[in-house]
Chain A
């Protein structure tokens, strides 16, 4: 019944650091990050790529890491929430989520912040409608999203200043 699973060697740059591991082909990127590397900032909320709690940037693009295999990230450059602050300084988006009360239980927050980063990387001064469109793939059950919209607006203003 059990098929012997051949492990594959992968090398992934995560938050600027290169990691080499042998993984099962079926291992999801989110489990590679969380269980193998201990990067537990990205969360699992649905396992069906709807909620976005697992969002990380793969080669600069927001990806739901619950529906990507770790082997598919071989050779990629991955940024997780843990890599967003630099030299102990919070990223302006992180700061804006703090200032504007963009997080309540915090479970969706890492994914929401990473999706916001992609949004602002692509559009430095989005309108409210563009913010909502850009974060449509990330669910939050606590905030009603209003403070998240405020946070992204505020971050855009600070980053543009």
Chain B
């Protein structure tokens, strides 16, 4: 066993093992369902089996008569609870009123209709089975293009066209560029619905203390403070009387960057019954009712000169929104538009989004959130353009990259890319795979009748969300650092890590900045009663924004430490090094613990200085960060079965400065796994009646350990100038870079058959049909 770090050396940049892990590997971590409160009830939710129906009646009598059932509530009981909030605002956005329980109509399969509260989780399910709902089934529409067609069933009767919003953005002389283009390539590209599938489903426990009129909600969330503000509003509970606690969270991937009906509903039940109540989402409910990701149909056009210079990109984006807006639903496709030009210099773009209601569960942020769709689109189009021009795909990319001397770069969509050297990771990846050698191997393979493919993607992303003006609820982050009288250090961070390892990386930052032992730092998060307001963990922002807030809090604290140090050493000028304040003149020094102790004992204070040793910093980022990289994938397609095998996966990611390479590698691997899931296996499929056909892990194939290739992960390091740590973020990079590289590789493999494009997932069935000469 390697010793935990105790030696006083710089920890940033080292692959230090995580301080989160001892509780995780011993089974002693506390997730929501691990908690039991005295007198706690269990809730089970009755959900609609239909995608569209009027509720004629609900009979709760048999359920109520079940021994152990405490209460049954239907929509009527909670009609005055505020709607599930949509935080995104777009001009003209249509926002349906999203009650926490259905009122007289249901809009998607899984729509909550009633809730049974019982003394035991089994009895709650028994009770739910006995609730009789009489439905008048209505026609439904589950496909966004069908929903736009004339005569389609209206998801919301008041909006018969099913359009929630239109959004337009353009830059440059679009019509002229396309009219004068030497080459135009067009393609319809889909990014299918994905189901985030965190291993821990959603989980809520609510407790009300009537004497204090205080409600506590424990929830598996990525955004404790925003959840508190919004649920307090829904329930009419004063915000300071609502405490949200986010204990251990078993994965989120964006699906818990949300406010759900059940979070408010459990709070409401706890207040109504006076007893704690717990609701644990079943996996089937998770598939049906937790947000899905992606859901794009994109019509792309790319204009270019014959020499390969990209001159224009045009996109019509049809976003499947589902039946309601969850927290950020309509905002997600706008991120796709922002990312449209990718890493390329092209300044002429035109995008039209139509956001479409369907009788499906809402889509919202899932790992990458709009950026994987955009990257998939542009990187597929660039490959198709290369094929059209008979140019090498790498050469075409290198020709169009923004060059290192052009940063900060004003993108066609209004962003300012912070820093980059886009050729560097691509060239590194090409070297690693020996690209020319690979092409030679491919020629031989083809001569032997084997379908071998080489595909690449060069991606960029928008990370470190974000400057507050660009976000719905503030994009800053907070940190407080408290040095206790003994010299031990407590950090409170406003981010809410759930697997990303910030207890470790933040301890590394503190250890380096204050010259203290890594083990003398504790990082607390996720409890609104103890942590100052924060925004949360999503959009690859935890370290880039939260870590930077911590960095600045530490600078403030160091200044105060030095004031106390100078006072104790009776000198004007001290240096702070390796955990001690020293006077260069006398050589005397005093330890941080002595300084902290003196600051609390406060026998004497430096002029104009408060007692105590604590600093809090709210950091507003001046810009996003823009990580980038290149992934190269080598595949072979089995001619008999259509099975795609990934033979090599090389990822060269530039996430700025790397604080902990072990954690960064883990983020890349996990991101790539979700990208491979989308590329080859995963597809959330609704039938024409709005029934989810992929409602369990049996039908929805997230990658198993046998389905994952070995990932060769390398990096280039281009520091971000946006923050003093130089970090850019890495949580979503793997997912964003992956899918176009895999699809480009398979299309390359099948290109001798005339295949030019394939939509995901590249299932054996789909490929087999192509191999038989049919259409995918």
Contacts and interface: CB of A to CB of B under 8 A. Distances in A.
A98 B251 contact: no
Interface in A116-135: 128, 131-133, 135
A90 to B, nearest CB: 7
B706 A132 contact: yes
Contacts of A27: 122
B17 A26 contact: no
Contacts of A108: 199, 250
B283 A45 contact: yes
B158 interface: no
Given A41-B26, A136-B705, A147 B666 contact: yes
B697 interface: yes
Contact residue range for chain A? Answer: 35 or more
A50 B25 contact: no
Nearest to A149: B705
Nearest to B248: A106
Given A45-B199, A51-B697, A101-B662, A136 B25 contact: no
Contact of A2 (B20, B126, B673, B710): B126
A107 B31 contact: yes
Interface string A81-105: 1101100001000110111010111
Contacts, number: 188
A139 B697 contact: yes
A146 interface: yes
Contacts of B710: 128, 146
B391 interface: no
B640 interface: no
B500 interface: yes
Contact residue range for chain B? Answer: 35 or more
Nearest to A109: B24
A43 B200 contact: yes
Contact of B282 (A47, A95, A133): A47
B28 A41 contact: yes
A68 interface: no
B67 A2 contact: yes
A31 B36 CA distance: 13
B283 to A, nearest CB: 4
B705 A90 contact: no
Contacts of A141: 197-199, 251, 253, 670, 673-674, 702
A78 interface: no
18 contacts: A31-B121, A39-B27, A41-B26, A44-B280, A45-B283, A81-B25, A82-B26, A85-B26, A97-B21, A99-B1, A103-B18, A104-B501, A105-B198, A105-B199, A107-B251, A110-B25, A142-B199, A143-B669
Instruction: Across the A-B interface, give the 6 residue pairs with the lowest CB-CB distance, nearest first.
Output: A41-B27, A107-B250, A106-B24, A144-B669, A105-B499, A81-B27
Given A53-B199, A98-B21, A139-B199, 19 more contacts: A1-B65, A50-B696, A82-B28, A97-B25, A105-B250, A105-B251, A106-B21, A108-B250, A109-B25, A110-B27, A132-B705, A133-B706, A140-B199, A142-B199, A143-B673, A144-B669, A144-B671, A144-B703, A145-B703
